[in-house]
C-alpha cells in the first residue's frame, strides 16, 4: 500500500473506556484499538486485571494479558476515594464507548451503570458482556465461556459417542461474543450519527453460542422435535464425506461432501488401490446416497488414508481440487507461509521482554494498517497523561499519586 493511499483508521478520534477484565471485554478493547480508537484500560489498584495473573508467563508478564490489551493506555484508579470517583466521572463524560463485563448490577453500585452515566453523557455507547445477559431468570448467575459452551448444546455434539465431551481448548464463547460486541458497538456509533444518542448493548455468552448453531436448532425445530444432533466422532453423518482421518504420520481433514468433489475423490480412491466401481457407483453421487452408505464409505476411505503419509495425500487431493489439510500443531501454524504472508503474527518491542510475537487480528483493510505495535500497558502506566487530558493540574496529579488514588506498579 502506498503512503498516498493510507487512510486514517476508521475509529480515530473515538475514546473507549475498557472497564473489563480477563477475556471477552479486553478482546473488544483490543479490536477497537486496532481500528483506531484511543482505548483506556481502567484497572483496580494493586493486582489490576485478573488476566495479569493468567499463564503463559515470561518473567512477571502474562502473555494472556499482553495479547488482549495491546494498543491501550493504562489507568489504575481508586474509585473508593472521592478524587478517584471524580476523575472516573470526568473520564466517562469524555468517552464515546464504555465496555464492561461484570455481573449485571455490579457497576450500578459504583455509579458506573448505564442509566447513571447516560444522564451526563447521552451519546455514550455502553456495552455490557456477561454470561447470561441483563434479563431473564439466570441474569444474576456467574459464568464463564465453559459454562456457555455446556449450556448452549455445542459441547454435547462434540467428541466420540458414549464419551464425555472434550474441552474445546479455545475460549469460543468469549471471543465470539467479543467480536459480536465489536460489530454492535460500531453499529451503535453509526446510529448515533443520526440520533445523537448512544445506547446500552447487552451481550451474553450464552446467547452468542446459541446463535452459532447453523444446523442443530433448525434440525430440531423443522423436524418437529424428532431430530436431536448427537456426538458423531470424527465425521459428519449428514455431510459424507467430511471429517478427520488418520494418515501414516499425522491426521488430515478431507472435505469431499459436495457432489462434484466426491466424484473426483472417489475416482482417485478407485484408481489408487480402492475397490473397483467405487468411483462410478452412481448411488454415491448424491448427498442422500452417500449419507445412507456412510459406514461402507468409511470402511474404504479410512484404510486408504492410513496407508499414506500426509504430504502424499495432500498432493493427491490438491491435484484434483478436493479441499484437504493437515491437522497442524501450533508450531506448524506459526511457520505456515500463508499465515506469515497474511501478517497474522505481530511482532512488538517490549521495554522489558524485548521482541515478543503474538497473534494478530484478522482485519485486512485496503486503506489502513490495523496491526498494533504498542504493547499492553503496565499497571497505571498512563495515569498522569490521562489525568492531565481531563484537566487535572500537575499538583493535583502528584497528590493523587502520593495518596494512591492513582496507582502504578
Calculate the dihedral angle through the C-alpha atoms of 223, 228, 234, 237, rounding to the nearest 10 degrees. Answer: -30
Asked whether the beta carbons of 39 and 32 are under 8 A apart, the reply is: yes
Asked whether the beta carbons of 21 and 101 are under 8 A apart, the reply is: yes
Closest CA to 60 of 351, 331, 348: 351
> How many residues in total does the chain contain?
409
Asked whether the beta carbons of 202 and 115 are under 8 A apart, the reply is: no
Phi-psi region of 13 (alpha: psi -120 to 50; beta: other; left: phi over 0): left
Phi, psi dihedrals of residue 347, rounded to the nearest 5°: -105, 130
Asked whether the beta carbons of 171 and 23 are under 8 A apart, the reply is: yes
Sign for the pseudo-dihedral over CA of 198, 199, 205, 209? negative
Residue 306: C-alpha distances to residues 213, 246, 271, 313 (Å): 32, 6, 16, 10
Catalytic residue among 49, 174, 202, 207: 174
Asked whether the beta carbons of 213 and 176 are under 8 A apart, the reply is: no
Query: Is 174 part of the annotated catalytic residue set?
Result: yes
Asked whether the beta carbons of 191 and 178 are under 8 A apart, the reply is: no
Closest CA to 318 of 257, 242, 254, 272: 254
Phi-psi region of 198 (alpha: psi -120 to 50; beta: other; left: phi over 0): beta
Asked whether the beta carbons of 346 and 372 are under 8 A apart, the reply is: yes
Asked whether the beta carbons of 381 and 74 are under 8 A apart, the reply is: yes
Spatial CB neighbours of 316, under 8 Å, sequence gap ≥ 6: 268, 272, 308
Active site residues: 174
Amino acid at each position: 500500500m502506498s503512503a498516498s493511499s493510507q487512510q486514517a483508521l476508521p475509529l480515530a478520534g473515538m475514546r473507549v473506556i475498557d472497564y473489563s477484565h480477563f477475556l471477552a471485554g479486553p478482546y473488544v478493547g483490543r479490536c477497537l484499538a486496532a481500528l483506531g480508537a484511543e482505548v483506556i484500560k481502567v484497572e483496580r489498584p494493586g493486582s489490576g486485571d485478573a488476566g495479569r495473573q493468567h499463564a503463559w508467563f515470561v518473567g512477571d508478564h502474562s502473555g494472556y494479558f499482553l495479547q488482549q490489551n495491546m494498543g491501550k493506555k493504562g489507568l489504575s484508579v481508586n474509585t473508593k476515594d472521592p478524587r478517584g470517583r471524580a476523575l472516573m466521572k470526568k473520564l466517562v463524560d469524555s468517552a464515546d464507548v464504555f465496555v464492561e463485563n461484570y455481573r449485571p448490577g455490579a457497576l450500578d453500585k459504583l455509579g458506573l451503570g448505564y442509566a447513571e452515566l447516560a444522564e451526563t453523557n447521552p451519546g455514550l455507547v455502553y456495552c455490557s458482556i456477561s454470561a447470561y445477559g441483563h434479563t431473564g431468570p439466570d441474569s444474576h448467575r456467574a459464568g464463564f465461556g465453559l459454562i456457555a459452551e455446556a449450556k448452549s448444546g455445542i459441547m454435547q455434539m462434540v467428541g466420540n459417542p458414549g464419551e464425555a465431551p472434550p474441552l474445546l481448548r479455545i475460549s469460543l464463547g468469549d471471543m465470539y461474543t467479543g467480536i459480536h460486541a465489536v460489530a454492535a458497538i460500531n453499529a451503535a456509533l453509526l446510529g448515533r450519527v443520526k440520533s445523537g444518542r448512544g445506547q446500552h448493548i447487552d451481550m451474553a455468552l450464552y446467547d452468542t453460542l446459541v446463535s452459532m448453531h447453523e444446523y442443530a436448532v433448525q434440525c430440531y425445530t423443522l423436524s418437529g422435535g424428532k431430530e436431536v444432533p448427537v456426538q458423531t466422532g470424527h465425521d459428519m453423518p449428514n455431510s459424507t464425506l467430511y471429517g478427520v482421518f488418520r494418515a501414516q504420520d499425522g491426521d488430515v481433514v478431507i472435505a469431499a461432501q459436495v457432489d462434484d468433489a466426491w466424484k473426483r475423490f472417489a475416482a482417485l480412491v478407485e484408481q489408487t488401490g480402492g475397490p473397483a466401481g467405487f468411483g462410478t457407483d452412481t448411488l454415491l453421487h448424491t448427498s442422500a446416497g452417500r449419507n445412507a452408505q456412510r459406514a461402507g464409505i468409511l470402511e474404504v476411505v479410512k484404510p486408504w488414508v492410513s496407508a499414506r503419509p500426509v504430504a502424499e495425500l495432500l498432493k493427491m487431493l490438491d491435484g484434483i481440487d478436493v479441499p484437504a489439510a493437515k491437522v497442524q500443531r501450533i508450531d506448524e501454524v506459526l511457520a505456515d507461509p500463508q499465515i506469515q504472508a497474511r501478517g497474522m503474527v505481530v511482532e512488538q518491542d517490549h521495554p522489558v521482554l524485548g521482541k515478543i510475537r503474538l497473534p494478530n487480528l484478522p482485519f485486512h483493510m485496503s486503506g489502513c494498517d490495523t496491526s498494533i505495535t504498542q504493547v499492553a500497558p503496565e499497571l497505571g502506566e498512563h495515569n498522569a497523561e490521562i489525568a492531565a487530558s481531563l484537566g487535572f493540574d500537575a499538583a493535583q496529579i502528584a497528590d493523587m499519586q502520593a495518596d494512591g488514588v492513582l496507582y502504578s506498579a
